[in-house]
């Protein structure tokens, strides 16, 4: 149980275009999902917390108009990188928490490697 | 904000050796988690700790939640080549940060056959 699937695993896009990344909880419902960004040889940096049915909460320094998050159902959250630039190239990872569990650990998707050319 | 210091940053060991890594925090957590990340993949949960002083094992892995609630360690015994990867600790304090995790900087483990 507790499988989180992220799609696509890799994407290359042209500068100025937008890219959507999906995060799905396959065998559980997630009221809360988290989006992280990871640069090479660095740790995971939380970008935003996605709450089903409400607006996402963004971390300081993360532009909400650039990184659009939608959490329309209990099993799906999407991150859209708008007007992508080369500096947005990174590894984006989502995680989700099974709200039925008494414990609070989060399970991660496999990540999306975004390359903006 | 909360700061997590993870050490060592990297380790190069021979197959069969034991490994130890730890994390310390500037403030308390009520949950400590240890993850392993392979290249190009998301982190995979190894061990979760929920109680100060708790010692938990998962196969060759053992982790402990420090009594002060500000530290945790992870031990790997009899390492094998597939233990290679980056290990991250993560702390969580529900009262102030909800489900948000604070990650350590990671420990890159290399195991030589």
**Residue B1 pLDDT > 60:** no
Q: Among A81-90, A95-104, B8-17, B84-93, which is the least confidently predicted range?
A: A95-104
Nearest-CA residue of chain A relative to B30? A104
pLDDT at residue A82, as a whole number: 97
Tell me whether B89 touches chain A (CB under 8 Å): no
pLDDT above 70: percentage of residues in chain B: 93
SS3 readout for chain B: CCCEEEECCEEEEECCCCEEEEEEECCCCCEEEEEEECCCCCCEEEEEECCCCCEEEECCEEEEECCCCCEEEEEECCCCHHHCEEEEEEEECHHHHCCCCEECCCEEEEEEC
Q: What angle do CA B32, B38, B42 make, to 5 degrees?
A: 65
Share of chain B above pLDDT 90, in %: 82
Question: Which pLDDT value is given to residue A80?
Answer: 97
Tell me whether residues A6 and B106 touch, CB distance under 8 A. Answer: no
The nearest CA of chain A is from the CA of B100 a distance in Å of 8
Please state, in angstroms and rounded to a whole number, the distance separating the CA atoms of residues B18 and A86: 41
* CB contact set of A88 (below 8 Å; sequence gap of 6+): A81, A114, A116
- Band the pLDDT of B96: cuts 50, 70, 90: low
Minimal C-alpha gap between B83 and chain A (Å): 17
Pairing of strands B10-14, B61-65: unpaired
Instruction: Give, in order, the Cα–Cα distances in Å from A24 to each of A27, A59, A114, B90, B107.
Output: 9, 22, 18, 22, 28
Across the range B11-29, mean pLDDT stands at 95
Chain A interface mutation, best of B7, B33, B42, B86, highest count of A Cβ atoms under 10 Å: B42
Q: What chain A residue is nearest to B44 in terms of C-alpha separation?
A: A108
Of A23, A42, A31, A26, the residue nearest A93 (C-alpha): A23
- Cα gap B22→B5, rounded to integer Å: 8
CA distance B29 to B87: 19
User: In the structure, how many helices (H) and strands (E) does chain A have?
Assistant: 0, 11
What's the average model confidence in pLDDT over B40-67?
Answer: 95
Place of tokens 């949960």: B45
To the nearest whole angstrom, how far is the Cα of A7 from the nearest Cα of chain B? 12
Q: Look at residue A1 in the predicted model and tell me its pLDDT.
A: 60
pLDDT of res. B2: 59
- Chain A residue with CA closest to B6: the answer is A43
**Contact map slice: A 35-74 vs B, CB within 8 A:** 41-44, 46, 49
Q: Which two tokens stand for residue A54?
A: 């409400």
Say what the pLDDT of residue A102 is: 61
Q: Chunked in runs of 10, what are the mean pLDDT values of chain A (117 residues)?
A: 90 97 92 92 92 89 95 92 97 88 79 97
Predicted confidence band of residue B112 (pLDDT cuts 50, 70, 90): very high
The tokens 């949950």 sit on which residue?
B31
Cβ of residue B44 closer than 8 Å to a chain A Cβ: yes
Q: Please name the residues in contact with B96: beta carbons below 8 A apart, sequence gap of 6 or more.
A: none
b/e for A80-96, b at 16 or more Cβ within 10 A? ebeebeeebbbbbbbbb
Q: What is the mean pLDDT of residues B31-51?
A: 94
């Amino acid at each position: 149980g507790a499988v989180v699937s992220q799609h696509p695993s890799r994407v290359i896009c042209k500068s100025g275009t937008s890219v959507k990344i999906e995060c799905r909880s396959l065998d559980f419902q997630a009221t809360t999902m988290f989006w992280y960004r990871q640069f090479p040889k660095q740790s995971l940096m939380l970008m935003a917390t996605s709450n089903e049915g409400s607006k996402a909460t963004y971390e300081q320094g993360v532009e909400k108009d650039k990184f659009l998050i939608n959490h329309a159902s209990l099993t799906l959250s999407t991150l859209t990188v708008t007007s992508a630039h080369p500096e947005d190239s990174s590894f984006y990872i989502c995680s989700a928490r099974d709200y039925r569990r008494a414990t609070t650990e989060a399970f991660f998707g496999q990540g999306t490697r975004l390359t903006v050319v | 904000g909360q700061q997590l210091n993870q050490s060592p940053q990297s380790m190069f060991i021979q197959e069969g050796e034991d490994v130890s890594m730890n994390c310390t925090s500037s403030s308390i957590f009520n949950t400590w988690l240890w993850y392993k990340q392979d290249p190009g993949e998301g982190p995979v949960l190894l061990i979760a700790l929920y109680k100060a002083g708790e010692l938990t094992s998962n196969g060759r892995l053992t982790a402990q939640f420090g009594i002060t609630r500000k530290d945790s360690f992870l031990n790997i015994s009899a390492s094998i080549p597939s233990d290679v990867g980056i290990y991250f600790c993560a702390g969580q304090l529900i009262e102030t940060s909800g489900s948000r995790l604070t990650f350590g900087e990671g420990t890159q483990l290399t195991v030589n056959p």
